C-alpha cells in the first residue's frame, strides 16, 4: 500500500467506527465533522445504512415497551416477602 492510500484509509472511518458513531448520535448531537463522516460513509455503505435504520427501529420499539413484561413472582416468593413484611411491621409496632 502506498503512502497516499494509507493516509486515505486512516482518514476514512471504518464500519466499526461508524456503527459506534451512529449509536452515539442517538444519545447526543455528534460533532459536525462526525456528522459529515457518517453521512458520507452511509452513501456508499448499505450495511451501515441498514444498521442505522435498525437501531432507529429498535429505539422506537423500546420507547413503547411496557415494564409489564409478564414476569411473575412465584407464590413461594410472594409468601416469603409477605412474612418478612409481617415480621418487620410487628417489630416496628412494639
Partner 1 sequence: MNQIAKRDYSNWVDEYGDALFSYAMLRVRGRELAEDLVQETFLAALRGIENFKGESSLKTWLIGILRRKIVDHYRRSAKFVGPDSEELNEELRPVDHFHNEGDAAGHWIAGEGPADWSELPGTELEQSELQRMIGLCIAALPGRLAALFTRKEVDEADSEEICKEFEISTSNLWVMLHRARARLRQCLERYMTGKM
- Note the residues at the interface with partner 1 (CB under 8 A): 1, 9, 14-17, 19-20, 23-24, 26-28, 47-48, 50-51, 54-55, 57-59, 61-73, 77-78, 80-82, 84-86, 88-89, 92-93
CB of 36 to partner 1, least distance (A): 19
Helix (H, G, I), strand (E, B) or coil at 88: helix
DSSP 6-23: HHHHHHSPPHHHHHHHHH
Task: For the CB of residue 37, give the shortest distance to partner 1 in the complex, in Å.
Answer: 13
SS3 30: coil
Estimate to the nearest angstrom the gap between the alpha carbon of 20 and the chain centroid: 10
- φ and ψ at 8, to 5 degrees? -55, -45
Which is closer to partner 1, CB of 32 or CB of 63?
63
Q: Which is nearer to partner 1, 40 or 85 (CB)?
A: 85
Query: Residue 33 or 69: which CB sits closer to partner 1?
Result: 69
| Residue in this structure with the C-alpha cell 432507529, named with its chain if needed | 56
Amino acid at each position: 500500500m502506498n503512502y497516499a492510500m494509507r493516509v486515505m484509509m486512516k482518514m476514512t472511518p471504518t464500519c466499526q467506527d461508524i456503527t459506534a458513531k451512529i449509536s452515539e448520535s442517538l444519545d447526543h448531537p455528534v460533532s459536525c465533522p462526525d456528522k459529515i463522516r457518517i453521512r458520507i460513509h452511509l452513501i456508499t455503505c448499505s450495511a451501515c445504512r441498514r444498521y442505522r435504520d435498525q437501531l432507529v427501529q429498535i429505539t422506537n420499539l423500546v420507547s413503547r415497551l411496557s415494564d409489564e413484561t409478564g414476569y411473575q413472582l412465584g407464590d413461594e416468593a410472594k409468601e416469603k416477602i409477605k412474612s418478612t413484611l409481617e415480621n418487620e411491621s410487628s417489630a416496628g409496632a412494639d
